[in-house]
Copies of this chain bind each other. A is one copy, B any other.
Amino acid sequence: MAKAPKPTINDVARLSGVSKKTVSRVINKSPLLNQATREKVEAVIAQLDYVPNPQARALALRRNFLIGLIHDNPNAQMVLNVQEGILDTIRATEFALVVRPVDRHSPTLLDDIHRFIEQQRLYGVMLLPPLSENDELARLCRDLGCTVVRMGSARLDDEAHLVASNDQQAVSEAVAWLAELGHSRIGFVAGPDGFRSARERELGFIAGMGRAGLTIDPALLTRGDYRFESGQAAGDALLDGKTPPTAIFASNDEMAAGVLHAACARGLTVPQDLSIIGFDDTAIAAHIWPPLTTVRWPIRAMARTAALKLTRPETAAREPSFFPSDLVRRASAVERVPDQTASSDHPPLKS
């Protein structure tokens, strides 16, 4: 309303009878300053409600306090968790989070990001998968003077510029769990070619089957693109096979939901007729019927650490770079009911 112009450092200096520089020292908590002077100035600052102008600061310091989140991620819940995690870290600081959803298939991707970083003079950027797997992009950002932290599912960079989950191990454990439940014919829905996370999860599946002493039937390996529809298709393919699996591991929750969908569509009951495990523990996992057993990775904690690495690397050095995931056991995976050998051409009725 009042349109009162904001107080500046000059106002503070004048009112407290010292020079700008002294006020600046107070703001920046410089140690070489008389205690009495400091308190006097602080009183005036409080009285005036003075907040330093970030643009002026940025100009003088030749750096700013913006960190960018660049992503092209199909999973809204994950992106939002990341945003919240970053905010957890920077909320009380002078940093701000600038977001930039992009289209990773755009031919002008690199140019667009180049323009964006130059134009905003970003201080640092955080890259989410699958963009984080693009080395060329990371290099571009660094050449432009940004610190870069990448979030991924494997060692993509040195530890100071990386937070990662261990997807391989997590999948391997999920497979072990299925084996423990008595399943031996386990189907797998891989993620899309070219995604590092897809590759890691695949390797985890292979390792898990090996560790459990199970053999892999190539007919039970399928591939999707992380989307619901591709999960449906994969489910159809697996369930229409000669000897269908009794359990399916899908490389993410959306595809797992698709598999579930396919199973329901042909009259199967989950989990009695088919156990399903997903990956990511997105909102959807808990909200479908039956609720999905899935792998949860600590996105928010990872994002917190990533933000720390961007804004206070010296503190962050003590933080871990690798985060373990855990299996969330819900209703979609249960002990295998002993086979009656015959193919179940109609689903068992309950009661």
Contacts and interface: CB of A to CB of B under 8 A. Distances in A.
A283 B143 contact: no
Interface string A239-283: 000000000000000100110110011010000000000000001
A12 interface: no
A143 B287 CA distance: 42
Nearest to A228: B287
B101 A98 contact: no
A349 interface: yes
Given A76-B80, A287-B257, A59 B51 contact: no
Given A83-B99, A94-B119, A287 B286 contact: no
A73 B64 contact: no
A101 B87 contact: yes
Given A254-B287, A349-B349, A121 B55 contact: yes
A261 B289 contact: yes
Interface in A59-86: 59, 64, 66, 73, 76-77, 79-80, 83-84
A27 interface: no
Interface in A185-217: none
29 contacts: A1-B143, A2-B143, A51-B118, A51-B119, A54-B120, A54-B121, A55-B55, A56-B59, A66-B96, A66-B98, A73-B80, A76-B76, A76-B80, A77-B77, A80-B80, A83-B101, A91-B112, A96-B120, A97-B100, A98-B98, A98-B99, A228-B286, A258-B287, A260-B289, A261-B287, A265-B289, A284-B287, A288-B288, A349-B349
A88 to B, nearest CB: 10
Those 4 A-B pairs whose CB atoms lie nearest each other, nearest first: A55-B58, A76-B76, A76-B80, A76-B77
A264 to B, nearest CB: 5
B119 A54 contact: yes
B79 A101 contact: no
A346 B267 CA distance: 18
Contacts of A349: 349
Nearest to A115: B51
A270 B13 CA distance: 71
Nearest to A118: B51
A53 interface: yes
Contacts of A58: 55
B288 A289 contact: yes
Contacts of A97: 98-100
